[in-house]
Structure 1
Amino acid sequence: MLATILAQYGLADTHCRVLPFGTGLINRTWKVVDDTQEYILQKINGQVFSNPVHISENIGALADYFDAYHPGYLFVKPVKTLTTGAGYVLYENDCYRLLPFVPASQTYDTVSTPQLAFEAAQQFGRFTRLLRDFDTSSLHMTIRDFHNLTLRYKQLEQAIEQGNPQRIRQSRELIDFLQSQHGIVKAYETYTSQKLFKLRVTHHDTKISNVLFNTEGKGLCVIDLDTVMPGYFISDVGDMMRTYLSPASEEEADLEKIIIRDEFFYAIASGYLGEMQDEMTTTEIDHFVFAGKYMIYMQAIRFLIDHLNNDVYYGARYEGHNFNRAVNQVTLLQQLLLKEKLFSDFVISKSYLQTQG
Structure 2
Amino acid sequence: MELNLDSEVLKAYGYTKENIKITQIGTGLINRTYLLSPLSEKIQYILQNINTSVFKDPQAIADNLQAIAKYLAKKYPDYLFIKPISTVSGNEMAYIKYEHWRMLPFVPNTVSLDVLTNEKQAYEAAKQFGKLSRLLNDFDASALKPTIPGFHDLALRYEQFTLALTKTSKALKGKAKPEIDDAIRHKYILDYYKSFAHRPDFPNRVMHHDTKISNVLLDAKTFQGVCVIDLDTIMPGKFISDLGDMMRTYLCAFSENESDLSKVKIRLHYFEAMVKGYLSEMKSILTELEKELILFSGRYIIYMQALRFLTDFLNGNIYYPTSYAEQNLDRAKNQFKLLHEISVNEKELQDIIEENLV
Q: TM-score, normalised by structure 2?
A: 0.96
The equivalent residue for 1:115 is 120
Query: 2:314 — aligned with what?
Result: 308
Match of 2:293 in 1: 287
Q: Secondary structure at the residue paired with 2:102?
A: strand
Is 1:17 the equivalent of 2:21?
Answer: yes
Which amino acid in 1 is paired with 2:280?
A: G
Structure 1 regions of 5+ residues with no counterpart?
A: 353-357
Given residue 25 of structure 2, which amino acid in structure 1 is its aligned partner?
F
Alpha-carbon offset, residue 9 of structure 1: 1.4
SS at match of 2:196: helix
- For residues 156-189 of structure 1, give each alpha carbon's deviation from its aligned partner in whole angstroms, at most 9, with x where no partner exists: 1111122122111221111111211111001111
**What's the counterpart of residue 78 of structure 1?**
84
Pair 1:130 & 2:135 matched = yes
CA contact (8 A) 1:164 1:310 kept: no
What secondary structure sits across from 2:73 in the alignment?
helix
Structure 2 partner of 1:189: 194
Q: Distance in 2 between matches of 1:349 and 1:210?
A: 28
CA displacement at 1:155 relative to structure 2: 1.1
In structure 2, what residue type is equivalent to 1:15?
Answer: N
Other structure's SS at 1:185 match: helix
Opposite residue 29 of structure 1, the aligned amino acid is: T
Give the match for residue 245 of structure 1. 251
Read off the aligned partner of 1:213 and give its amino acid letter: L
**Paired residue type of 1:181:** H
What whole-Å deviation, never above 9, does each CA across 1:261-281 have from its counterpart, x for those lacking one?
000100111000110011001
Matches within 5 A, 1:151-190: 151-190=156-195
SS at match of 1:192: coil
CA distance in 1, matches of 2:265, 2:100: 40
**Equivalent AA in structure 1 for residue 298 of structure 2:** G
CA distance in 2 between counterparts of 1:182 and 1:279 reads: 30
> Could you tell me how far apart the structure 1 residues matched to 2:117 and 2:224 are?
14
Instruction: For residues 190-214 of structure 1, give each alpha carbon's deviation from its aligned partner in whole angstroms, at most 9, with x where no partner exists.
Output: 2212244221000000000000111
Paired with 2:214 and 2:165, the residues of 1 have a C-alpha distance of 34
Asked whether the equivalents of residues 40 and 98 of structure 1 are also in contact (C-alpha less than 8 Å), the reply is yes
Give the number of the structure whose residues are more often helix, by fraction: 1
Aligned positions, number: 351
| SS state at 1:278 partner | coil
Following superposition, which runs of at least 4 residues in structure 1 exceed 6 angstroms of deviation? none
Tell me the equivalent position of 1:28: 32
SS at match of 1:297: helix
Q: What do the CA deviations read for 1:110-158 (whole angstroms, capped 9, x no partner)?
A: 1111100000000000000000111111111100000000111111111
Equivalent residue for 1:340, pick from 321, 338, 346: 346
Correspondence for 2:11 among 3, 7, 17:
7
